[in-house]
Amino acid sequence: KIMISRVFDFMKKSKSSIQLNNTSFLDLLPSSSSTKPKALNDVFINHRGSDTKRNIATLLYDNLNARNLRPFLDIKNMKPGDKLFDHINRAILTSKVAVTVFSPNYCDSYFCLHELALIMESKKRIIPIFFDINPSQLDVMIEKVTCSDNEIQRFRWALQEAKDTVGLTFDSCKGNLSEVVTIASDVIVERLVELEANDEDV
């Protein structure tokens, strides 16, 4: 049975403000300007491919696509010849919300952590799914020879922000995968409706 790590409050309209402690990367991106980038995707799916691409990530993408939304999943949206970082960064900045699927090998990946940090720095509404891992187990596992101290600090900050965000917890040994995908998709729709309503009020 799916365990919800904290209770979702669908009627809550207030947005959580994220205090940035590292804006240098965003400042260097051509897409980050004073004008808000045009939303090209409804949902960006951040995940560790070796853990989740063949199960929850692809099922979630297909479910959202069936609801006539515009999800972004690297294996579905990227083509041979695309520049990895440029394409991913643009997809994050032009998405309305982000789903982060945390899994046992997630924190071993520089790419996953970079995507998460950019999601947090760009203040996207994020929906975490803790897939076969508890929030307390998340920590940067990349060796310092792979990235700088500043990057490690950036990744740890982003992980902490994610751990402090309401999310779903799923145990693949006990839970129903179809059920968690449906619940996550319902939550995404709720968040998109909230964002649309907030935009209309501005």
Residues 119 and 45 sit within 8 Å (Cβ to Cβ): no
Task: Say whether 121 is catalytic.
Answer: no
Q: How many CB atoms lie within 10 A of CB 111?
A: 14
Q: What b/e string do you get for 62-97 counting C-beta neighbours within 10 Å, with b at 16 or more?
A: ebbeeeebebbbbeebeeeeeeeeebbbbbbbbbbb
Candidate list 115, 121, 161, 194, residue with the active-site label: 115
Q: Across the strands, what pairs with 41?
A: 95
Task: Measure the CA–CA gap between 133 and 47, rounded to whole angstroms.
Answer: 13
Helix, strand or coil for residue 43? strand
* Token pair belonging to 84: 């990895």
Residues 171 and 52 sit within 8 Å (Cβ to Cβ): no
Residues noted as catalytic: 115
